[in-house]
Amino acid sequence: MKPESCFKIDRNSIAAHPREFRAPSAIAMNRAQARERSIGQAWEELRLLPELELEIGCGVGWHSLHRAMTLAREGRSSRGVVAIERTREKFDAFARRLAQHSVHQVPNLTGVHADARLWCAREVTKPIFDQVWILYPNPEPGRPQRNWLREPFFSHLTRIVKPGGRLTLATNSENYFTHSCDAHEHWRRSWEMQRSRSWSKATEPKFQVRTHFERKYFERGENLFELELIRLPP
């Protein structure tokens, strides 16, 4: 599937421009921070690494854990992963899973129980990320403005990814995918559409699933959609 082929755009479905992200007040950020919890390597240490990946909505942490273990196995100790999940039950499952591994197996992973918007607004103001993963976000069909590329937060996300950095977004919702492609139009100067594709168990039976939700959708034989954007220099 060529990048252009995902542009089945319904221009009436969503407004033309997302609002600019406004950082929450210090009070709101302090309150949020008081409720947050971290596992794995301390963020204060991880953030010193020259290369970083961010996963937003990591669920039970399969993908981030696998990613961090792969980096460690490949000797890429200069690259770390920060994985953020907002739902407590999922984060607890992530914490239990991480606790089954030694620090040698997973040296460069920080898991955070937080709202990714608030956490990123508070912790990151410079382009430090080489890769952002958003895998199977809640599609919220009746609220296309909640698409991550439509959110005001996307302007902040754009600021904290390095030039040449990547954003990978996967979904099982064709509508969500189409709306993301549509929203990308607004970000053409900041992000290049590197790739978009669609696949299923029927077309790629040997596909290695990466997340809990991806496994569920793949096993059901649903079509999966993914787009990859590259951050252009400012």
Ligand X SMILES: C[S@@+](CC[C@H](N)C(=O)[O-])C[C@H]1O[C@@H](n2cnc3c(N)ncnc32)[C@H](O)[C@@H]1O
Here the tokens at position 26 are: 């210090």
**Residue with tokens 């951050």, as numbered in its chain:** 231
Q: 172 and 136 in contact (C-beta within 8 Å)?
A: yes
Residues 6+ away with beta carbon under 8 Å from 32: 24, 114, 115, 118, 119, 122
Name residues contacting ligand X, limited to 186-225 (CB under 6 A). 211-214
Among 47, 66, 86, 97, binds ligand X (CB under 6 A): 86
x/- letters, 45..84, toward ligand X (CB under 6 A): -----------xxxx------------------------x
As measured in angstroms, the least distance from the Cβ of 148 to ligand X is: 9
Enclosing H/E stretch for 166: strand 161-171
As measured in angstroms, the least distance from the Cβ of 37 to ligand X is: 13
d(CA 219, CA 86): 26
Q: Does residue 226 belong to the site contacting ligand X (CB under 6 A)?
A: no
d(CA 202, CA 55): 28
Among 135, 157, 160, 229, binds ligand X (CB under 6 A): 135
Q: Which of the ranges 35-43, 71-79, 123-131, 134-142 carries the binding residues for ligand X, by CB under 6 A?
A: 134-142
Which residues bind to ligand X, rule: CB under 6 A?
56-59, 84-87, 90, 115-117, 135-138, 211-214
